[in-house]
A and B are shown apart, each in its own frame.
Chain A
Amino acid sequence: MNWLTRLIPSIGIDTSTNKSKVPDGLWISCPSCEATLYKPELEKSLYVCPKCDHHLRIGARTRLEQFLDNAVYKEIAADIKSKDPLKFKDTKYYTARVRDAMKATGENDAIVIGQGHVKDIPVVVAAFEFRFMGGSMGGVVGEKFVAGINKAIEDQIPFICFSTSGGARMQESMISLMQMAKTSAAIQKLKGHKLPYISIMVDPIFGGVSASLAMLGDINIAEPKAFVGFAGRRVIEDTVRVELPDDFQKAEFLLDHGALDMIVHRKDLRAKVSGLLNKIYNK
């Protein structure tokens, strides 16, 4: 894949959430240090700012391509689409929101599952797509996640998930909430087969995804400075009426408090994860 094809918006960086003042194109402003960065260069650095080491948000497919050998994967359960189980409507129909998100991202829902290799180890990898309704988990995300786990069990290979999500999807209410139980139960099935589950937490993860599949890794890893928590910062501030320190709910805070095994820089993820898998998954 050459650099030109990579400029297709559907696999590009998340321009909707970074505060780029530079229009879409070859130049991107770092959301952290505001340095102006040349996109092809940024791509080489895996969308980590060469100036300040900020890990920019990336799409699910970019993630899979970065992580897997030769950027190659076979997609699993690609065709599952949302069914609007509650016929939900707020200021807009849920079906319209889904349609808009599909148009904006080119994805069917907020997760992509791929099967490939990481340093020659066969793996199934799930990657959340944060641009699709904030990476929120509804029935489709749960169903695809379980399909990925089932594939890992069928092929007796490890399962890895890159989570980034605002939490459960309001528009599917209880169906969405139950996906927390569904994905957690599937992870237990995988573990029953003695297959490893590596959870890699990517900025940001909150609510229902944090309080289910993201925390249940045999090994929990996060990218530097990723925000991960149960309740959002604003909710906590409103509840306890205290201003929270800057590092609150950052990966480093989670490591200090025992929720993570390690923090790994994006450029080291392939080596670190494959190394861990070689040790715990000895086949």
Chain B
Amino acid sequence: MNNSFLDFEKPIADIYDKIQALKDIASESPELLSQIAKLEEEEKNITKRIYSKLSTWQTVQVARHPKRPHTSDYIARIFSDFDELHGDRMFGDDSSLIGGIGYLDETPIVVIGHEKGRDTQEKVKRNFGMPQPEGYRKAKRLMELAEHFLLPVITFIDTSGAYPGIEGEERGQSEAIARNLAVMSELKTPIIVVVTGEGGSGGALALGVGDHVSMFEYATYSVASPEACSSIVWRSSDHAAEAAEAMKVSAKELIKINVIDEIIKEPSGGAHRDYAAAAANIKSSLIDNLQKIGTIEINDLLERRYQRLITIGK
């Protein structure tokens, strides 16, 4: 379990270790229970304190945490009766991106998101959440299906970026991303976007055009990964932390420049500490915003979506 603590979480890890050690012997010495409770309280407080002032680079590490919940974890906890739908009808089924139909409470919706995979085998199968063109084309197909049946679209963004490979270039990675931007900008149904983990570049944005864009508290969103920005701008890969800071990748920065509309709170210590609470926070945001957006007449909604895009960078 220790290996799931990040470097800057050492004080939390230390207390956690103590608690575990005491728990091992607590069955023989019940008087330790009050001490355990005290340490647990302390763990909570330290976690809260550390997470209240994360640096940008620390936020990047939380967003990439190996135990951070993924799209499939959220789908299982937020929606009911989910049916996954496969394939782009042209080339293949890209499992780095999953999508399908389910219910958000009583409302049928289409949900699409990047999926990084959990264990090594699944990560390989899901290409570490880095889609090929067929992934984006599947997403586009499902969005058009949503439009056809007047279902709202919910997207979850969590990718380090679109996959940079030979086949992707051959099959038109650029076109696939560009097409999604074009289609989403005028899709005649509400679109809600949630950046849950890493929002990496065009590969993230290809699911990112919508009527309401929210970000998890410790998610990141940027034009390039901090490492890529470092090597492009600093001409060395050693400046990733500075690059993350300079690019203002965190939710609390991005809301100031109106790139996102809402920050969704994470459980204390990050979403990975409490999947259920993390999912519940997303769910209540989705319900709220879908209710608000659902009352807007579709042409007004499209005009609103257009104005939102057109004013960024004015």
Interface membership of B265, Cβ < 8 A: no
Interface size on B, residues (CB 8 A): 52
Is the beta-carbon distance between A177 and B205 smaller than 8 angstroms?
yes
**What is the bound-complex CA distance between A173 and B201, given in angstroms?**
9
Which residue of A138, A175, A178, A244 has the most chain B CB atoms within 10 A of its CB atom?
Answer: A178
Interface membership of A255, Cβ < 8 A: no
- Contacting residues, chain B, for A25 (C-beta < 8 A): none
> Residue on B with the closest CB to A185?
B185
> Residue on B with the closest CB to A184?
B181
If over half of A's interface residues share one DSSP class (helix, strand or loop), that class is named, otherwise mixed; here it is: helix
* Given A170-B229, A184-B182, A212-B181; A177-B201 close (CB under 8 Å): yes
- Contacting residues, chain B, for A208 (C-beta < 8 A): 201-202, 223
- Contacting residues, chain A, for B257 (C-beta < 8 A): 85-86, 174-175
> Residue on A with the closest CB to B173?
A230
Task: From A30-38, A48-56, A186-194, A268-276, give the one contacting chain B.
Answer: A186-194
Interface membership of B33, Cβ < 8 A: no
> Residue on B with the closest CB to A209?
B174
Is the beta-carbon distance between B313 and A180 smaller than 8 angstroms?
no
Is the beta-carbon distance between B232 and A170 smaller than 8 angstroms?
yes
**What is the bound-complex CA distance between A208 and B232, given in angstroms?**
14
Q: Apart from A192-B186, A216-B178, what 8 extra A-B contacts exist at CB < 8 Å?
A: A86-B247, A170-B247, A172-B313, A175-B257, A177-B205, A185-B182, A230-B202, A231-B169
Using a CB–CB distance below 8 Å, which chain B residues touch chain A?
Answer: 162-166, 168-175, 177-179, 181-182, 184-186, 201-202, 205-206, 208-209, 221-224, 229, 232-234, 239, 242-243, 246-249, 254, 257, 259, 305-306, 309-310, 312-314
The 27 sampled A-B contact pairs (Cβ below 8 Å) are A88-B246, A90-B233, A91-B233, A146-B310, A171-B246, A173-B223, A174-B257, A174-B259, A175-B312, A179-B313, A180-B177, A182-B313, A185-B182, A185-B186, A185-B209, A185-B309, A187-B182, A210-B178, A215-B172, A215-B179, A216-B178, A229-B169, A230-B164, A231-B168, A239-B163, A240-B165, A259-B172
